[in-house]
Amino acid sequence: MITKETIEKVFEAARVEEVIADFVQLKRAGSNYKGLSPFSDERSPSFMVSPVKQIWKDFSSGKGGNAVTFIMEHERFSYPEAIRYLAKKYNIELVETELSDEGKEAANERESLFLISEFANQYFQEMLFHSEEGKAIGLTYFKERGFTLDTIKKFNLGYSPNVWDALTKEALSKGYQLEFLEKTGLTIVGEDKQFDRFKGRVMFPIHSMSGRVLGFGGRILTNDKKAAKYLNSPESDLYHKSKVLYGIHFAKQAIAKNDTCFLVEGYTDVIQMHQAGIENVVASSGTALTPDQIRLVSRLTKNITVLFDGDAAGIRASLRGIDLILEEGMNVKVCTFPGGDDPDSFAKRTPLQDMVAYFEENALDFIQFKASLLMKDAKNDPIKKADLIRDMVSSISKIPDRIKREVYIKEVSRIMDISEEVLFNTLAQLVQKEVLESSKKQATQQKTFEVVKNESPVQERIVDIQYELEHKIIEILLLYGALEDEFEDVLIQTNEQGEMIEVKENKKYKVYQRVYLSLQEDEIKLANPLFKAIYDNLISYYNTTDSFELDQYLLQLDQEVAQEVTAILMNDERDTLHNWEAKQIYVKAKGQTIAQYVTETILTLRWFLVNKIIEELKNTIQNEPQPDNSETLSLVVDYLGLTNVFSKKLGRVISRHS
């Protein structure tokens, strides 16, 4: 169990913008940062981070929170796992007791899979460095590949003994369950025995962006033709090969810093380039590139350079991946190596400065690359040339940005010596075809569901005024509750003539005190249950603490309330988009004092509630007529008088809500 003191140290040290920047490319937007949502597929940023408030909000998915909740959401960590991750990131000593066998059994399934994967990672490294077999076979292989000890340790490389059940036996003896060994794919369970999947292989752990071990790749070193040269972990709750890029954990900071990413094919390509000094590199691990893998990179940079070796057949097979990169709105270049070289061999024999210069000089725009590659086949064949041009225009049609499409069409026109008009017409046909196919696909999908037709016209969403006003009160308490300002009190006194008069008096209050007293005065209770829970919690918190620290306050809330609090805090960044004043909901303007804003909001809520009473009384007269309605009518008149008072105090002519 993690101590409260350690948790407080983590919250104190963790900067939300630093934590999130490891996973999302953030750009300054006023006092905040914005970026692409890591939780949904989008091309326009709707993910916001507030360094001042130390919270984040993803407006596309509705998620939000602090640094800890981001790690929990993004990496699907439990609360303790998120604390451990941040403690490691900020070099905070984390003292906790060793998990007992019972504790391991009690851990939820996903955590159990992570525990076993991490155990296997440590075991393989132990075998590599400390077993005779590991040193003689595994370590010798890595050194022959040119990897230094520092590099081997950095990438957690290891060795799995050439024994049928070495890992399985060791894990079971340590209290890990066979069920989870099987689910991670580390152990294959048969009817009467179980054995290790990666027997006799050098091991490459595959990490998530945060550094957790998701799975493994194993390379066999013998000439056994029956065994696959490379073997990966099977799909599991942790490992989805289409959503993982090898090396992303080690490359993420360099990708963001250099604002570009190199994409290679294999594990050793990544490792060798890292060792050579180029760290912004990841690998698709021999699988066809997928949209999910591309999005991992797009959150860190919009620029990607695909590195191919000299194998022309392999290059042509990979061209589909370039179209996928274009579809994600990224800028793509392609670079090939001199004959016989691949990223691994080129990095091994080339000094860093020469490598950088080579990439700068030889990386081609995808249009130039396709032209140079495919023109060799086309030569003087007009049919093949026409097919090549159509292929290039097809790639351009994948680009979502219209301006980029036009620029590339002009480039193809220049390179291939064909009129822009013909190319634009071809592009228009392709785009129209894709739109039609997409529409047909959606129509087909809709037919699989039973659709109930709504005959009534679509109505504009009716704003729940009371909800919005109560929302504003919670926002005021969160943003300004601990601040002090001068408020105007109105007292009723008797003058010398014995008349009752109003006397105005300015008095200092803390905002939370003024809000509480104002609502108590009119016996107003918030109608929304969640807002009421937050309100009660906030008032209690202010009354029992000397200072209000947002991160400490969020720490003591349960998940649902913390999520709503974060949403409220970040929604004020979007207030200008909603034209609230047209709905008589007033947002604090620049230059307006906190006292004005608080008074205005409370008065507007009072006014709304009084109008609600008036409408209820009117409905009573209409729906339940009595012989004498004079008393009810008198109440309506009195309440109407109150609304006039509110209107004068607000200093506006306020039209009533219908």
Question: Of the ranges 54-63, 179-188, 433-442, 516-525, which one carries the lowest mean pLDDT score?
Answer: 433-442
Torsion sign, CA atoms 271, 274, 275, 278:
positive
Do 398 and 539 share a domain, yes or no? no
CA angle, residues 578, 580, 586, in degrees to nearest 5: 140
* Confidence at residue 628, expressed as pLDDT on a 0 to 100 scale: 67
- Residue 267 predicted with pLDDT over 50: yes
Confidence label for 97 from pLDDT (cuts 50, 70 and 90): low
- Residue 336 predicted with pLDDT over 70: yes
Q: What confidence tens digit (pLDDT) does each residue in 130-178 have?
A: 999 999 999 999 999 999 999 999 999 999 999 999 999 999 999 999 9
Confidence label for 184 from pLDDT (cuts 50, 70 and 90): very high
* Confidence at residue 625, expressed as pLDDT on a 0 to 100 scale: 67
* Confidence at residue 451, expressed as pLDDT on a 0 to 100 scale: 43
Q: In 10 A of CB 191, how many CB atoms?
A: 4
Highest mean pLDDT among 313-327, 463-477, 611-625: 463-477
| Residue percentage of the chain with pLDDT more than 70 | 81
What lies within 8 Å, CB to CB, of 457 at 6+ separation is none
Assess if residue 369 is contained within a domain.
Answer: yes
Token output for 223? 């000439």
* Confidence at residue 653, expressed as pLDDT on a 0 to 100 scale: 33
What lies within 8 Å, CB to CB, of 477 at 6+ separation is 511, 512, 515, 535, 538, 539, 542
Do 65 and 204 share a domain, yes or no? no
- Residue 482 predicted with pLDDT over 60: yes
CB 513 within 8 A of CB 485: no
Neighbouring-strand partners of residue 263: 282, 306
Phi, psi at 608, each rounded to 5°: -65, -45
Return the CATH number at 33: 3.90.580.10
CB 416 within 8 A of CB 389: yes
Least Cα distance to 528 among 465, 571, 479 occurs for: 465
- Residue 228 predicted with pLDDT over 80: yes
Question: Of the ranges 150-164, 301-315, 609-623, 644-658, which one carries the lowest mean pLDDT score?
Answer: 644-658
Confidence label for 537 from pLDDT (cuts 50, 70 and 90): confident
Instruction: Give the C-alpha distances (Å, rounded to integers) separating 571 from 46, 568, 642.
Output: 12, 5, 32
Give rounded-to-5 percent helix, strand, coil for the chain.
Answer: 55, 15, 30
Confidence label for 398 from pLDDT (cuts 50, 70 and 90): confident
* Confidence at residue 151, expressed as pLDDT on a 0 to 100 scale: 97
* Confidence at residue 590, expressed as pLDDT on a 0 to 100 scale: 43
Question: Helix crossing, 630-650 with 594-623: angle to 10°?
Answer: 160
Do 218 and 354 share a domain, yes or no? no
Do 296 and 417 share a domain, yes or no? yes
Radius of gyration of the chain (CA): 33
Do 514 and 366 share a domain, yes or no? no
CA-to-CA distance for 268 and 343, rounded, in angstroms?
Answer: 9
* Confidence at residue 20, expressed as pLDDT on a 0 to 100 scale: 93
* Confidence at residue 66, expressed as pLDDT on a 0 to 100 scale: 87
* Confidence at residue 105, expressed as pLDDT on a 0 to 100 scale: 54
DSSP summary character for residue 227: S
* Confidence at residue 607, expressed as pLDDT on a 0 to 100 scale: 82
* Confidence at residue 214, expressed as pLDDT on a 0 to 100 scale: 94
Torsion sign, CA atoms 248, 251, 256, 260:
negative
Do 153 and 296 share a domain, yes or no? no
CA-to-CA distance for 586 and 568, rounded, in angstroms?
Answer: 15
Torsion sign, CA atoms 446, 450, 455, 459:
negative
Q: Examine the fold and report which residue of 415, 435, 455 is the final residue of a domain before the chain moves on.
A: 435
331-336 and 303-308: which strand pairing? parallel
Confidence label for 654 from pLDDT (cuts 50, 70 and 90): very low
Q: What confidence tens digit (pLDDT) does each residue in 270-307 have?
A: 999 999 999 999 998 767 889 999 988 988 899 999 99
What lies within 8 Å, CB to CB, of 481 at 6+ separation is 510, 511, 512, 515, 538, 542, 548
Mean pLDDT estimate for the chain:
82
Mean pLDDT of 99-108: 56
- Laid out side by side, the sheet with 261-264 consists of 281-283, 261-264, 303-308, 331-336, 364-365
Assess if residue 441 is contained within a domain.
Answer: no
CA angle, residues 159, 167, 183, in degrees to nearest 5: 110
Place of tokens 């439990």: 78
DSSP summary character for residue 338: S
CA-to-CA distance for 459 and 449, rounded, in angstroms?
Answer: 24
Do 209 and 268 share a domain, yes or no? no
Do 405 and 266 share a domain, yes or no? yes
More confident call, 439 vs 486: 486
* Confidence at residue 572, expressed as pLDDT on a 0 to 100 scale: 60
More confident call, 513 vs 44: 513
Assess if residue 454 is contained within a domain.
Answer: no
Q: Which residues of 318-329 are buried (b: 16+ CB within 10 A; e: fewer)?
A: bbebbbbbbebb
CA-to-CA distance for 478 and 303, rounded, in angstroms?
Answer: 40
* Confidence at residue 74, expressed as pLDDT on a 0 to 100 scale: 86
CB 38 within 8 A of CB 23: yes
* Confidence at residue 499, expressed as pLDDT on a 0 to 100 scale: 67
Do 339 and 403 share a domain, yes or no? yes
- Residue 56 predicted with pLDDT over 60: yes
Assess if residue 440 is contained within a domain.
Answer: no
* Confidence at residue 173, expressed as pLDDT on a 0 to 100 scale: 95
More confident call, 497 vs 336: 336
E strand intervals along 13-101: 27-29, 32-35, 47-50, 55-58, 64-65
- Domain of residue 78 covers 4-89
Return the CATH number at 155: 3.90.980.10
Q: What confidence tens digit (pLDDT) does each residue in 350-390 have?
A: 999 999 999 999 999 888 888 877 776 676 788 888 888 88
CA-to-CA distance for 117 and 213, rounded, in angstroms?
Answer: 6
Q: What confidence tens digit (pLDDT) does each residue in 369-380 have?
A: 888 777 766 767
Question: Of the ranges 40-54, 132-146, 194-208, 238-252, which one carries the lowest mean pLDDT score?
Answer: 40-54
- Encode 421-469 in three state secondary structure: HHHHHHHHHHHHHHHHHHHHHHHHHHHCCCCCCCCCCCCCCCCCHHHHH
* Confidence at residue 283, expressed as pLDDT on a 0 to 100 scale: 94
Assess if residue 447 is contained within a domain.
Answer: no
Assess if residue 543 is contained within a domain.
Answer: yes
Q: What confidence tens digit (pLDDT) does each residue in 422-471 have?
A: 998 888 888 877 766 666 655 555 554 444 344 444 444 456 788 888 88
Highest mean pLDDT among 182-196, 503-517, 620-634: 182-196
Assess if residue 104 is contained within a domain.
Answer: no
* Confidence at residue 442, expressed as pLDDT on a 0 to 100 scale: 55
Assess if residue 458 is contained within a domain.
Answer: no
CA-to-CA distance for 392 and 273, rounded, in angstroms?
Answer: 31
Do 284 and 431 share a domain, yes or no? yes
Do 307 and 397 share a domain, yes or no? yes
Place of tokens 């075809």: 433
Q: Examine the fold and report which residue of 435, 454, 481 is the final residue of a domain before the chain moves on.
A: 435
Neighbouring-strand partners of residue 25: none
Q: Examine the fold and report which residue of 207, 239, 271 is the final residue of a domain before the chain moves on.
A: 239
Return the CATH number at 316: 3.40.1360.10
Do 412 and 558 share a domain, yes or no? no
CA angle, residues 210, 215, 218, in degrees to nearest 5: 130
Query: What's the domain count of the chain?
Result: 4
CA-to-CA distance for 128 and 200, rounded, in angstroms?
Answer: 11
Highest mean pLDDT among 89-103, 579-593, 610-624: 610-624
Highest mean pLDDT among 221-225, 245-249, 488-492: 245-249
CA-to-CA distance for 490 and 566, rounded, in angstroms?
Answer: 35
DSSP, collapsed to helix, strand or coil, labels residue 570 as: helix
More confident call, 457 vs 549: 549
Token output for 645? 């008072």
